[in-house]
Structure formats: C-alpha cells, structure tokens
Amino acid sequence: MNYRHEFHAGNFADVLKHALLVRVLLYLRRKDKPFRYIDTHAGAGLFDLDGPEAQRSGEARGGILRLRDANISPEAAELLAPYLEAAGAGPLYPGSPKIAQAFLRPQDRGLCCELLPEAANHLRGALARDKRIKVIARDGFEGLNAFVPPPERRGLVLIDPPFERRDDYERVHDSLESALRKWPGGMFMVWQPVKEPEVADAFCAAVGGLAEALRIDLQVATSGKGLTRTGVIVVNPPYVLEQEAATLLPELTRVLAQDERAAFWLERLGAAKVSSQ
C-alpha cells in the first residue's frame, strides 16, 4: 500500500471529515450514557505539518492552515470552534483518533484498528496510552465485524480506508452491510475521495439502499494536481447534522476554494437532493 497520510494531513479533505466527526461526537455527548468510538483505519495519530512530506505536498496550506486564518461567519465559526480547538494551532496535526480522544468523557471508550504495526505503535504514543482507548494492529474491516455492536449500544464508527485497492468500495459496502445487520441503530461515517463522480454516485446509492444516510461532498476545484473533491457519508445521522452541514458547507467552500468552480453537495441518500451550490 503506497498511501502515506503524512503527505495529505490537514488538507481540505481532512478539514471536512474532522469538522463533521466533531459535530457527531458532540451530538453523542448530549446524553450522559456512554458511547464508543470505533476507527477502522486509524493511522499514526499525529502528523507534522512542518515535516518534509507535508511541505512537499503543500496540501495543508489549502486546508487547515488556510482555515485557521480565515474570516468565517459567526454561525459557521461557532460550529467549527470545537474542531479547531482539537486540531490545535501548532505544526502537529491530529488524525481522527486523536481528535476523537478530545471528546471522549470518562465513561466513553474508543477502539482503533490500524493494520501497520509501526503506525499502531505511533498511535499508542500519540494517545498517551489513554486507558479509555484501545489500539489494535489488525485489519479494520475484520475489526468492524468483530467489534459491533459495542457494549454501550451507542456510538460512531469511522470507516476511512485509503481507497487505493481496487476492491475498497466493495469491502466498505460489504463491511457496512454486515455491521448494520448486527447494529442497525449504530452511526457510521464513511469517507471517500471523489475521483470518479460516477463511481462515487453508485457507491452512495448502494449505501442509501442499506439505511438512512446523508451525503456531504466538498469540491475545491474542477481540475488540478491531486484530489479536488471529497465526500463523507453519515449513516443513521444525528437529526441536527443536516442543518449543521448546511451552515458549514457554504463557508468551507468559500474559504477552501482553489478556483471559481468550487462547490458543495448535501443530499439525503435515496431521497431528493437537499442543497447544492
């Protein structure tokens, strides 16, 4: 596998994914009952934006670094503030498990799968051996099937593979279908790179056939080097997420745009499109 997140950490795709991740975790915190966060492709935990990989790609400059300095509407700024606080102001950008850690309460638990042993060890260090979070060096798709439903019966699963294998879409769909059979009320977030819109559309339609879901896409350009469009699918979404995304997306599109064709999509899967621009 050639994917190395050191080159992509803090880019516009991370901004969208992590901003929405925080909104879902904050929703789960509304009740005192414990919840569980499960990450199927957890990564190394912390990434140096001043490191040679990040500097070579420059992707963070069009993502978190630009967002930190942007003038944002008060409504969107309020929704983004918890994410920006968790992301920090320094050169070390947190991966999804590290961001989730900031929102776990004493009664909550996390479980992170990372296939590469070296990355799993880095993640344990990044999490400071937090006793609330267990890191397992194993295939995330296998882990998902093994670890749902969680004992808490409440929680969120983030499915975030690199989509470098040709069968990743099939593996995500099949794993999600199996997990929903075991835990039909669970919340799941799936990140995808939108490299071929027709492939992404077909995948979203297939996910919409499994359960109620919300598709949230952000496009920063219509052409250019590397990824220019990304998406997050939230299965069994919190009822507040659609309105929160409708507030965030216009501002993120404006701030992170790389050309005049930047756009966003907000759609209930299996239903009429909610909004687009």
> Residue 35 pLDDT more than 80?
yes
Rounded to whole angstroms, the Cα distance separating 237 from 55 reads 35
Please report the pLDDT score of residue 56 as a whole number. Answer: 85
Strands (E) located in 16-56: 36-39, 46-48
In single-letter form, the type of residue at position 132 comes to R
C-alpha dihedral sign at 82, 237, 10, 64 = negative
Binding site listing: 18, 41, 96, 114, 139-140, 160
Q: pLDDT: is 43 or 8 the higher one?
A: 43
> Of the candidates 42, 35, 269, which has an alpha carbon nearest to the alpha carbon of residue 141?
42
Binding site listing for S-adenosyl-L-methionine: 18, 41, 96, 114, 139-140, 160
> Residue 271 pLDDT more than 60?
no
- Distances from the Cα of 32 to the Cαs of 27, 35, 82, 108, 238, in angstroms? 11, 9, 19, 10, 16
Taking only the tens place, the pLDDT of each residue in 49-86 is 998 888 887 889 999 999 999 999 999 999 999 999 99
* Burial category of 41 from C-beta neighbours within 10 Å (exposed 0-12, middle 13-18, buried 19 and up): buried
Instruction: Name the least confident of 4-8, 143-147, 149-153, 226-230.
Output: 4-8
Kindly provide the b/e burial profile for residues 125-142, where b requires at least 16 CB atoms within 10 angstroms of the residue's own CB.
ebbeeeebbebbbeebbe
Please report the pLDDT score of residue 8 as a whole number. Answer: 82
Query: Measured in whole angstroms, how far is the alpha carbon of residue 98 from the centre of its chain?
Result: 12
Here the tokens at position 197 are 């819109």
> Residue 261 pLDDT more than 50?
yes
pLDDT tier at 2 (50, 70, 90 boundaries)? very low
The pTM for the full model equals 0.94
Here the tokens at position 196 are 């071929």
Average pLDDT of the residues in 180-193: 96
pLDDT tier at 173 (50, 70, 90 boundaries)? very high
> Residue 276 pLDDT more than 70?
no
Rounded to whole angstroms, the Cα distance separating 277 from 265 reads 7
Rounded to whole angstroms, the Cα distance separating 6 from 195 reads 20
Please report the pLDDT score of residue 225 as a whole number. Answer: 74
Please report the pLDDT score of residue 16 as a whole number. Answer: 98
According to DSSP, residue 191 is labeled E
Kindly provide the b/e burial profile for residues 158-195, where b requires at least 16 CB atoms within 10 angstroms of the residue's own CB.
bbbbbbeeeeebebbbebbeebbeebeebbbbbbbbbe
pLDDT tier at 272 (50, 70, 90 boundaries)? very low
Question: Distance from first CA to last CA of the chain, Å, rounded?
Answer: 35
Rounded to whole angstroms, the Cα distance separating 187 from 176 reads 11
168 is catalytic: no
Taking only the tens place, the pLDDT of each residue in 61-71 is 999 999 999 99
Going from the N-terminus, what domains does the chain have, and what CATH number goes with each? 5-189+201-212 (3.40.50.150)
Q: Hey, which residues does 110 pair with through a beta bridge?
A: 37, 133
Please report the pLDDT score of residue 4 as a whole number. Answer: 60
Q: pLDDT: is 55 or 87 the higher one?
A: 87
Radius of gyration of the chain (CA): 17
Map residue 184 onto helix, strand or coil. Answer: coil
> Residue 269 pLDDT more than 80?
yes
pLDDT tier at 273 (50, 70, 90 boundaries)? very low
Catalytic pick among 39, 160, 168, 174: 160
Map residue 276 onto helix, strand or coil. Answer: strand
